[in-house]
Structure 1
Amino acid sequence: MSSVNKSAHPFDKGRLEALLSRRFFYAPAFEIYGGVAGLYDYGPSGSALQANIIAEWRKHFIVEEGMLELDTTIMTPASVFETSGHVARFADWMVKDVKTGDVIRADHLVKNVLEARLAGDKEARGQAAVSTKEDEKDKKKKKKAAKVTAVKLDDDVVKTYESTLAQLDNFSGPELGELCRKFNIKNPDTDNEVSEPQEFNLMFASSIGPTGQHPGYLRPETAQGHFLNFSRLLDYNNGRIPFASAQIGRSFRNEISPRAGLLRVREFTMAEIEHFVDPEDKSHPRFKEVQDVVLVLLNRHVQSSGSTGSIKMSIGEAVAKGIIANQTLAYFMARIYLYLLKIGIDPDRLRFRQHMANEMAHYATDCWDAEIHNSSGWVECVGCADRAAYDLTVHSAKTGHPLVVREALKQPIVTEKEVPEFDKKILGKTFKQEAGLIQKHVESLDEAALLRLKEEIAKGSTAIIIDGKTFEITPELLRIERRTFKQSTREYTPNVVEPSFGLGRILYSLLEHTYWSREQDIERGVLSLPPVVAPTKVLIVPLSSKEEFDPLVREVSSKLRRAGIFSRVDDSNTSIGKRYARNDELGTPYGVTIDFASVQNRTMTLRERDTMDQRIGSIDEVIATVTDLVEGNIDWAEACRRLPAYDGVQAVD
């Protein structure tokens, strides 16, 4: 899109939310029944926007990377999540208002109270000056919502609060309780004390079958479906590693206190990738293509020191310095960054934050979150984790199904080792039911222990001790011989690098990043959505409702459809300016106007949303130009070189 000054008015979240509600991007589910916190329905524009975000995700990752797409079941037997560790560890810490019983997520309580106090300190120090009545009104509203009181804090207290907030994700439940006591943190809604933090598992429990004999859960992530189908995926990929599987689908988390719109919901759409890789080789064949991509990085050591200072660094340098663990993890971080920019996220409000030790998921060895800044602060929207071999290992151990790769070696590996051989007839006759215990013990010995045992047996009988009991072993019972083995295949459990996208959070952040209002019409907003994700690409505006316009409107609509361009016709009786303005609210990037000259001369004007600039050309020229614009083949500057400016005099009455 063309550049345009969007800073005429400061961002107004209230106006954005009013627009999204009024134009039905999304709304609380079951609203006429009073609604349920954390559940939302998407309207026409919101559904189309999400579908376009998903379509671009599919192109950017599945198509570009040649991934294997899955669609696995949502309802999952409890045994799967017991094995994966979710039943025991997929939890957040919550506190209760000791008088009302209201439940609050502990880390959010600490964060909101300390941030409100810091905001009050800035207010008291005169660092939050207001310049207009509108700003002052908005400021008072925000102060009330955040319980901000203008109180100056000691400099040491300010530093302590800032350091605590920088490390907040690293605190355990008991440590959060200690912070509440240390800083006298209460429920800001009631000013009541809160209880000690308690763990709350976030999964929705259910049951499978008419009698409920099979306990189950709604999945909190799509990942387990990838791991359980690994053998089939590997076979589909002709037994070759590396490869990636991908899935877009619904997940469910029983959030403690969902109060931030689409940023914290109980049902949401995820897009997840599981990239299976050789644990001994985590290089990526396409790493050179992204090694110069520069990211804003906030590593775990900086956070642990109580700071939030980030650095800009190329992906290549970050891997070379060991800041990012390996090429594959770094490659996907770069690809995540490029995807988010492509759909319209502001690069100046995007960073990658590394997880600290205590916040790391039980399955991860390293993890970076793509965090997007919006009116709620920095919000995790994409996680990129190295899950090592955890999931495949635990599921294989539980089920006995080998979730491994068997790789033919180009050069066979020849090894020699000591091998114990029992005379099972004599062993069984001598030790009866304990024979198996002895055999298992000896076979578990390492090379050095077997050599010592071999030397002792060569001298005569020897004793071995198992669980405090002594057994006499003679040469007739056991021989230990050195043998040569030729290994033609290598068997290993692959590691997994997982990028996981919360699409609702990305969608909402995108709406904030692209929202603005014109100086001459502050009440009517504009969504500068990129054409690739905009719900409607082109608005068709006939200047008149006369029947003579109908054939041309049908022709333009048909040609745009054949070009794969989604368009809408607005032939209402309102002025053309109002018609364009209300579609600017929907993020429609282009509009074409059919006037009386169009009927006579087969010309048509093309309008660009952000600048309101208009060009003119023949119908086919305009359709070809707008098609190239929507597909990203040209920008608005090139469109202006193709089509002359519209001076407003071509129309014939």
Structure 2
Amino acid sequence: MAQVKRDAFPFDKSRLEANLISKFFYAPAFEIYGGIAGLYDYGPPGAALQANIINEWRKHFIIEEMMLELDTTIMTPCADSKTGEVLRADHLVGGVLEARLAGDKEARGQEALPKDDAADKKKKKKATKTKAVKLEDSVVAEYERILAQLDNYSGPELGELCRKYKITNPDTDNEVSEPQEFNLMFASSIGPTGKNPGYLRPETAQGHFMNFNRMYNYVNRKLPFASAQIGRSFRNEISPRAGLLRVREFTMAEIEHFVDPLDKRHARFEDVKDVELDLLDRHVQEAGATTVKRMSIGDAVANGTVANETLGYFLARIHLFLVKIGINPKRLRFRQHMGNEMAHYATDCWDAEIENSNGWTECVGCADRAAYDLSVHSKKTGAPMTAFEQLETPIVYEKDEPILNKKVLGKTFGKDLRTIQTIVEELDDANVQKLKGELAQGAATIVSPTGQEFKLTPDLLTFERKTIKESVREFTPNVIEPSFGLGRILYCLLEHTFWSRESDAERVVFSLPPVVAPTKVLIVPLSTKKFDHIVRDVSLKLRKGGVHSSVDDSSQSIGRRYARNDALGTPYGVTIDFASLQKGTMTLRERDTCDQLIGPIDEVIAVVTELVQGTIDWDEALTRLPRYDGVQAID
């Protein structure tokens, strides 16, 4: 295959965005009314690209991993009264410090924003009101250290950073208040009266946990198993200003892999153990650095960098998926959550971050959530959410079982008897022994979850020593959760595959892999009705072969028609001309190199179908069809 020079022109974000809008990959929602920040509509190429990414995701995960697919409601009944400020504190601090570092580089005569063009650079400078000012070396080092561990700061710590470094609102230069928690869920109501509060879901995960028992029975009560869901989620972003990277309505693809907490091995880990990843672990970040370590996932699990095989397996599979659909592996890393940003219940958590013109953006989160979700829902509802293991050798042990004197308790505590009974029944063995010891001293106090205290005496509660024989182990499964933001992945993919031809910066190309390209084949006939029957025949055969094709029979030159579809990411094109009438041949063009082959129409259709299906590549196609020498039949 001919070599293509893609770096003839520097990345131009304004040209990218202009092309995405003009080709209607996406556009602001309600645009004719002025638009609403954080809401976008996908046009034909954008909708097709998203659908193809989802289709490949389903094949890569749901089908290959034999997952259970769900489709659960977007409504979530809950109550949350927290409110917040209009500026997101971590984004404010990060944006201002990055702008100051950019100004420092400019003052030193360095290129501050290598990925953006001059117009975008001017736009960013205006937005942050940052002048080109040289900073002390120690200040530069301090800013870089803060940025490296920005996600590790709590709300009060971010407030302290704002005060220490005199960080103000970049739009107004006004001081900012102390950071406050903000409810990111969109409020709604359930039912005609509006009295039942509800929220649009911020993630799809909870639908999996609600249905755990049904799924566990569906798989004949065997672990491990995984469920998956693709659907809309909603977050009331404070200031969505980064296009598709920060929106209020988006599509997520989430997996919940349920596993025995005592055995987090994965049956297919051997298949991926040699996959190498760029890992940014918590220790490097907490030291104020961002240097990645490249290692195989097998080594990362073996040396404890990644907590367990199942988590490591999914990190590798996430990497393989992103690279397959066209993400540049050199601009992909996995960043481990630091102590303050990791959920208190999580064992380990990694984000797949993709570099783009806005920096490193989290596009996939992969966490070991332990037993938190199932335990919380079970405790809240009283519904057991456990799994069972038949033991080969029964376990025999003795334990003290609390015996309540319900008759006396009822007279003493009345309607609180049920509360007392629930508290005692939920005591683990350690707390049973503690309670027994206190009662032996005369009295003991137990406390309900709401803080209500009850004083018990030996006449109300006694203990009976029992021998327990367990043939079945009961436990709450742990969950490994990969969560994909498909809109962010889609945007990063468009950035990574966008370039201009060496001959003309305006001749833009999206080098989208055929597996996700919106249209696979462009049919280009010479502008005459003589070819209509051939066009119909070729189009029908491609569609019957499952190949999405389109026809461009406009009056423009063939070169212009191909260029127009290069900017839509169409990987292949076939030309129908007088040779097609006279000799029954057709040319086949490859998008990136503009190489052309020629052959009998049916042979070309067979080759391009295999190219689209991924069973052959262009080098293989070169052995199947001769190169086109430019000689056409004469009318």
Fold agreement, TM-score > 0.5: yes
* Inter-CA distance 248–472: structure 2 relative to 1 (3 Å threshold): closer
* Inter-CA distance 196–470: structure 2 relative to 1 (3 Å threshold): closer
| Aligned pair partner of 1:329 in 311, 319, 328 | 311
Give the aligned length. Answer: 622
| Aligned pair partner of 1:601 in 580, 583, 588 | 583
| Aligned pair partner of 1:384 in 350, 366, 388 | 366
Report the counterpart of residue 44 of structure 1 in structure 2. 44
Say if 1:2 and 1:636, in contact at 8 Å, map to a contact too. Answer: no
Q: Displacement of 1:463 after TM fit?
A: 5.5
Say if 1:319 and 1:330, in contact at 8 Å, map to a contact too. Answer: yes
* Inter-CA distance 104–419: structure 2 relative to 1 (3 Å threshold): closer
* Inter-CA distance 293–430: structure 2 relative to 1 (3 Å threshold): closer
Of 623-632 and 55-64, deviating more is 623-632
Distance 2:532 2:408 in 1: 99
Report the counterpart of residue 499 of structure 1 in structure 2. 482
> Given residue 43 of structure 1, which amino acid in structure 2 is its aligned partner?
G
- Where 1:357 maps in the other structure, the secondary structure is coil
Of 576-585 and 620-629, deviating more is 620-629
| Aligned pair partner of 2:142 in 144, 148, 160 | 160
Of 141-150 and 516-525, deviating more is 141-150
Q: What's the CA shift string for 1:78-105, capped at 9, x where partnerless? A: 1xxx5xxxx488x8x74xxxxxxxx321
Say if 1:2 and 1:635, in contact at 8 Å, map to a contact too. Answer: no
Q: Displacement of 1:469 after TM fit?
A: 6.4
Say if 1:418 and 1:447, in contact at 8 Å, map to a contact too. Answer: no
| Aligned pair partner of 2:160 in 175, 178, 181 | 178
Of 15-24 and 516-525, deviating more is 516-525
Say if 1:70 and 1:245, in contact at 8 Å, map to a contact too. Answer: yes
Report the counterpart of residue 501 of structure 2 in structure 1. 518
Say if 2:103 and 2:112, in contact at 8 Å, map to a contact too. Answer: no
> Given residue 220 of structure 1, which amino acid in structure 2 is its aligned partner?
P
Q: Does residue 1:610 correspond to 2:588, yes or no?
A: no
* Inter-CA distance 525–416: structure 2 relative to 1 (3 Å threshold): same
Report the counterpart of residue 629 of structure 1 in structure 2. 611
Q: Displacement of 1:495 after TM fit?
A: 0.5
Distance 1:59 1:632 in 2: 14
Q: Does residue 1:644 correspond to 2:623, yes or no?
A: no
> Given residue 502 of structure 1, which amino acid in structure 2 is its aligned partner?
G
Distance 1:36 1:165 in 2: 30
> Given residue 464 of structure 1, which amino acid in structure 2 is its aligned partner?
G
Distance 2:387 2:174 in 1: 57
Q: Percent identity?
A: 69
- Where 2:310 maps in the other structure, the secondary structure is helix
Q: What's the CA shift string for 1:525-576, capped at 9, x where partnerless? A: 1000000000000000001322x21111111001100110000000000000
Q: Does residue 1:120 correspond to 2:103, yes or no?
A: yes
- Where 1:540 maps in the other structure, the secondary structure is strand
Say if 2:27 and 2:41, in contact at 8 Å, map to a contact too. Answer: yes
Say if 2:2 and 2:595, in contact at 8 Å, map to a contact too. Answer: no
Say if 1:418 and 1:451, in contact at 8 Å, map to a contact too. Answer: no
Q: Displacement of 1:34 after TM fit?
A: 0.8
Tell me the C-alpha RMSD between the 2 structures: 2.8
Of 621-630 and 371-380, deviating more is 621-630
* Inter-CA distance 43–446: structure 2 relative to 1 (3 Å threshold): closer
* Inter-CA distance 12–409: structure 2 relative to 1 (3 Å threshold): same
Distance 1:603 1:212 in 2: 67
- Where 2:158 maps in the other structure, the secondary structure is helix
Distance 2:152 2:377 in 1: 28
Q: Displacement of 1:314 after TM fit?
A: 0.7
Q: What's the CA shift string for 1:583-616, capped at 9, x where partnerless? A: 0000000000001011111110000000001000
* Inter-CA distance 173–156: structure 2 relative to 1 (3 Å threshold): same
Q: Displacement of 1:167 after TM fit?
A: 1.2
Q: Does residue 1:77 correspond to 2:56, yes or no?
A: no
Q: Displacement of 1:309 after TM fit?
A: 1.1
Provide structure 1 residue ranges, at least 5 long, that are not aligned to the other structure. Answer: 95-102
Say if 2:442 and 2:457, in contact at 8 Å, map to a contact too. Answer: yes
Q: Displacement of 1:650 after TM fit?
A: 3.5
Q: Displacement of 1:361 after TM fit?
A: 3.4
Distance 1:383 1:562 in 2: 38
- Where 1:201 maps in the other structure, the secondary structure is coil
Distance 1:34 1:47 in 2: 22
Report the counterpart of residue 466 of structure 1 in structure 2. 444
Report the counterpart of residue 592 of structure 1 in structure 2. 574
Aligned pairs for 1:5-404 within 5 A: 5-78=5-78, 87=80, 94=85, 103-128=86-111, 136=118, 139-361=121-343, 363-404=345-386
Say if 2:443 and 2:458, in contact at 8 Å, map to a contact too. Answer: no
> Given residue 246 of structure 1, which amino acid in structure 2 is its aligned partner?
A
Q: TM-score, structure 1 length as denominator?
A: 0.90
Distance 1:138 1:268 in 2: 26
Say if 2:542 and 2:605, in contact at 8 Å, map to a contact too. Answer: yes
* Inter-CA distance 19–433: structure 2 relative to 1 (3 Å threshold): same
* Inter-CA distance 196–66: structure 2 relative to 1 (3 Å threshold): same
- Where 1:588 maps in the other structure, the secondary structure is coil
Say if 2:227 and 2:255, in contact at 8 Å, map to a contact too. Answer: yes
Say if 2:574 and 2:586, in contact at 8 Å, map to a contact too. Answer: yes
Q: What's the CA shift string for 1:425-463, capped at 9, x where partnerless? A: xx8479953797699869958489869979x99xxxx76
Distance 2:533 2:193 in 1: 62
Say if 1:544 and 1:595, in contact at 8 Å, map to a contact too. Answer: no
Distance 2:563 2:299 in 1: 46
Say if 2:127 and 2:170, in contact at 8 Å, map to a contact too. Answer: no
* Inter-CA distance 341–375: structure 2 relative to 1 (3 Å threshold): same
Q: Displacement of 1:363 after TM fit?
A: 4.8
Say if 1:420 and 1:443, in contact at 8 Å, map to a contact too. Answer: no
> Given residue 6 of structure 2, which amino acid in structure 1 is its aligned partner?
K
